[in-house]
Every structure is written in C-alpha cells, then in structure tokens.
Chain A
Amino acid sequence: MAQALIDLIKRQFPTAVLETHSQHGDDTLVLNALAWKAVAEFLFSSPDAAMNMLVDLTVVDYPDREPRFEVVAHLHSLSLGHRLRLKARVGNPEGEGAAIASLTEIWASANWAEREAFDMFGVTFTGHPDLRRILMYPEFEGYALRRDYPADKIQPLIPYREIPGIEKVAPFGRDEGMSFGRQVHARWAEDSEDSQAN
C-alpha cells in the first residue's frame, strides 16, 4: 500500500519528490519545499491517499547543512489506515529565509503545530492566519530549539511598564528561577556581575 502511494505521488509530481526511504517501516518522502502545499493538498483530496489527519508537524535543525531546517509532517489516513512522513528542507545556514507554505487551509491541526515550529525554530509559514509565538512570550529573543541556541542562555529582562504612582517590584537576579541557573554561561555570568555591581 505504502509503496503504491509513493509511486502515485511520484507519478503525479515527478519533479517534487527528491528522495524516499522507509526506515523502521515509516515511509518518508522528501519534497521540494515549493511543492509542499500542492502535494499535501493532493494527499488530502485524492481518494487513494485520503490523508485526513495531520498527526504532527515539527522541524529538525541541521546547522551544518544547506538548507538547514527539515520540516517534518506526519500524515495519517483514518479511513485507509496508512501513514506517511513528508519532509522539506528550507533556510540557509544562518537560519534566515526559512519559509514554507502553511497547511492550515487543509488541516486545522496545522495551526498550532506551525505556530510552535515558528516559535521554536523561526521557520515562517506563509499563509498562516495567526503566526505568533505560542509557548514562549512575545519578547523572547532567538529561537529556543535551534541547535546553536545555548540551553543555558539567559533572556534579558522585560522592562517594566512605567505606570505613574505604582512602585516597581524588585527584579530577580538574572540566574534566579532559570532551569539551568547553576551553570551560568561565562558570558552571562560577567553580565550579571556587572548588573549587580550597578
């Protein structure tokens, strides 16, 4: 079944499929990023594929590769019972220009999945109706799940709003309450000493 499905897509989109493999029984198609949405739409509407559920959408970061990010989507057909993994590669090694078409028009579950991918990796999904951070706060700097984002990086404090008549609460130390506070990065340790001295 799965091989027949792969062949069907290859026939339908001869230039879009870059490579295929089926490691551990997971059939995978690596697509040209430009054909991402067209193939997804075909998989959704074609009766032979009937992929009515987008199970998951995520990104894997390979900083040494060009293109750098691999957008990975897992599709599932509840009526036919088969699964397929789609991949597309986007972005340059600096992590810029990573953009791919949004699948929100096809599956509603793509909405939050793509927001999370954007939040964590900075991949933009063109055509997404509401692309903003979801797990992190809006002022967060950088993209947390990129490989070059240090896990012990400490985010700058968000400045207080100036409201006349309300006194500020004393801010926490920079390493207070962070999950990796015990191992403050040297660069940040200097910073926090400076701020304490001030």
Chain B
Amino acid sequence: MEPIDVELSEAELELPEEPMLLNVGPSHPAMHGTVRCVMELSGELIHRVDVQVGYLHRGFEKMCERGTWAQVFPYVDRCNYVSPMLNNVGFALACEKMLGIEVPERCQWYRMALGELARISDHLTCDGAMAMELGAFTPFLWMIKGREMIWDIMEEETGARLTHSFGRVGGMAAPPTKGFKEQSLAVVEHILSIVSEVEKLMFGNRIFLDRLEDVGVVSAENAISLGWTGPCLRASGVAYDVRKAAPYLKYDEVEFDVPVGEKGDCLDRFIIRLEELKQSVRIIRQSLARMADSGPINVVDPRVMLPPKEEVYNTIEGTIQHFKIVMEGLKIPAGEVYSYTEAGNGELGFYLVSDGSGTPYRVRIRPPCYYITGGLEHVITGQMMADVVPCFGSLNMIGGECDR
C-alpha cells in the first residue's frame, strides 16, 4: 500500500502574496443595513477598508423641497424606521422653534412618553440584532417580543405600527387614548423583566463576552472627532446627552442618569443601550405620572392648526382656513434654525431654511447614523475579519437615516 501522508516540502506550498480583496455586502445577512464594505485582507486582518453607503438613498432632502412643511412628517418617519416617533417630534420641534410657539404641557409629556417608548424599541432592536448576529438567537426573540409590545402601543395611539406620521407642527395628531397610561406602564414593566433575563443570559456567556470585549475600541477623542453622538459616544466615556446638555420638552424636570462607558469597546456599546433603556423607563413613568388626563393637546393658533371638522363643514371661515393650510401649507417665517434632539442613535439635528412660503427652502437632516457609519472604517481597520460583525452591529447603522 502507498503511504497516505505524502511528503510535502514547505517550498512547494504556494501562498498568495498580494492581499485579498473581499466584498461584504451590499446585502450581506450580517449587515443589517444595506452597506457595502470592500476590505483588503492580509490573512484575517483587515488592512484597509472602504465603506460604501447610499444604497437606500431616496432623495429625502430633495423631496422635502417639493411639498409643504407638514408633508415632511411622513418622510422623517422613514429616516429612522426603528424609532420614527423621535424623528417626528424632532422635526415638529424644529418647526415650532421657527414659529416661536410652544405646545401645551400635556402634549409635551405625551411626546416625551411616546419618544422614550420609541427609544426603547430602538435599543431593543439594536442589542437584539447584535446578539443574534453573534449566534445568540434567544435574546433576539425576547427583545423583538418586547419591541412588538411597544409597537402595539404605537398602533393603539397612532393607527400605524411603524410609520406613524403622528407629529404635527403645534401638537400631535390625536390626544392619548384612554388606556395609554395603563398599557404603557404594564409594557415597560415587562420590558424590564426581559432586559434582566437578557442580562443574566448574556453576561454569563463567555463566548459572547469574548467576542465583544476589547473589540472595536474607540477613544473618546476619536469619537468626538468623528462626530459621534448618542450611545456610541457615551460608551467611549463622554457624558454628552442632548436631553441633559440642552433640555427640550420637559427633560429638565425629570430625573434620569446618563450612563457612560469606560473603554469604548463593543461590549460597552451593548451595555450602554441596556442601561439607557432602564433610564427611558424612569422617564416614561415620570412623564405618565405628570401628564394630565384631559386638556388641550394642540396649540390654539389658526396659522398652523387645522380647524375642527364641524367648523370646516359648517362655516365659510373654517373651510377657507382648512383650504389655505392644506393647499398652501402653513407659513413659516423666513429664516434659518438648527434644532437638535436626542434620537435613538444620537443627536438628530434639523437645519431648516425657510423663505417665508409654505414650502421648505431647504431641509437638512443631520443624521446621527451617517457620522457613526463614517467612523466604521476607523473602527474595523486593523481588526480581524470576524470582528466586523459585532463592530458593525454595535454602531446600529440604520440605512434609512444614513442614506436618506
């Protein structure tokens, strides 16, 4: 019989000398946004990487210049489709800042409660997807179950699970439903129990921790220079939260903490989201306790608000007012404003330029994701190929917001 092991001298093995070029994406299952990474690998190490975005570009800013101010709301829904309520409120606040109006107190508490619910759903999705991409499917299902409960509340309140278009300049589309407080309190309770179960499951799991710890470390200095905001910046140890630094709505009247990470690695970004989620629950409880059960939800201002339907159908003034606001759009005084709020991923800014007509002259959205994804190259260069998945997951790139 012939010997099985053939003698091979080392010199006969031909190993490729030039670095290998690898395409990940545009729709790789591990990339939960449509993004393409062209990587130059040397062995398993990433030498160079080119992150390419734009696959979900829908011309958001161009479309905004074609409609009225109120018609922008459905578009901002589709920017960050995991927490659309925060975008709705952000845009409404920017318009209200230009108009110089403030919504009634009840509406402010309502916006905060809805916004924090949306933030919880955002963080649940991000952490759940991140765990799933690393092979932990159970926490993903638990977290998505929690998110589904929040979307049930949203459906009850707004009529739509995902794209609510619920914000209005000068208020909200409808007042809170009767069961809103009760349902929300029950759901956040349930979500806290889900989070504690997830923590027990994940933080005792060595495989999970090994894949996140000291992977994708970003220093505070680099994170600031890259324009990172939100959980990613806070994981690097910078306690910057728009809700604390420049409080809007009633955030200066509620108690909550800003959790801050130490190392800025993927694990910190994972934990920060779970901690923030608990803070959101605190805010929701306080907001619901202080939200009145009755009272106006919209400002009384015929320039911006549609008149009640009885007036539209029965009086000529009401009909004209309705017609003017719908056809010409509400008029926002000429000028410019930069208004920013804390969205799921960080500072969501709206730079609006108005020429005084019913159509926006320019709507610039400052998407937190765009700048965070811009830092992906910095995060994964020099890492192992397998670390791309947790790094990318921890940044929570939302395609709609990044590419607009």
* A residues with CB within 8 A of B: 23-24, 26, 52-56, 58, 60-61, 72, 74, 78, 81, 83, 85, 107-109, 111-113, 116, 120, 133-137, 144-145, 147, 149, 151, 179
Contacts and interface: CB of A to CB of B under 8 A. Distances in A.
A109 B54 contact: no
Interface stretch (B151-159, B347-355, B380-388): B347-355
Contact of B59 (A23, A61, A78, A144): A144
B225 A107 contact: yes
B117 to A, nearest CB: 27
Nearest to B225: A108
Interface stretch (B134-142, B257-265, B332-340): B332-340
A172 to B, nearest CB: 17
B61 to A, nearest CB: 6
Given A113-B227, A136-B54, 13 more contacts: A56-B364, A58-B364, A60-B361, A60-B362, A60-B364, A72-B364, A74-B351, A85-B338, A107-B227, A111-B374, A112-B370, A135-B404, A144-B62
B59 A108 contact: no
B8 interface: no
A163 to B, nearest CB: 18
28 contacts: A53-B225, A55-B227, A55-B349, A60-B361, A72-B364, A74-B338, A74-B351, A78-B240, A81-B245, A83-B338, A85-B338, A107-B225, A107-B227, A108-B222, A108-B378, A109-B225, A109-B374, A112-B370, A112-B373, A112-B374, A113-B371, A135-B54, A144-B59, A145-B61, A151-B59, A151-B63, A151-B66, A179-B59
B169 to A, nearest CB: 15
Interface string B365-380: 0100011011100100
B224 A112 contact: no
Contacts of B63: 151, 179
Contacts of B202: none
Contact of A78 (B57, B224, B374): B224
A151 B240 CA distance: 38
B299 interface: no
A83 B337 CA distance: 13
A53 B337 contact: no
B224 A53 contact: yes
Interface residues of B, number: 42
Contacts of B338: 26, 56, 74, 83, 85
B161 interface: no
B97 interface: yes
Contacts of A111: 374
Contacts of A149: 62
Contacts of B62: 144-145, 149, 151
Nearest to A147: B65
A179 B337 contact: no
B162 interface: no
A181 to B, nearest CB: 13
A61 B225 CA distance: 27
Contacts of A136: 54, 57
Contact of B336 (A23, A55, A112, A137): A23
A81 B240 CA distance: 10
B98 interface: yes
A182 B124 CA distance: 39
Contacts of B98: 24
A24 B58 CA distance: 30
Contacts of B66: 151
A37 B369 CA distance: 26
A143 B337 CA distance: 24
A137 B53 CA distance: 10
B53 A134 contact: yes
Nearest to A60: B362
A78 B346 CA distance: 14
Of B240, B347, B361, B362, most A-chain CB atoms within 10 Å = B362
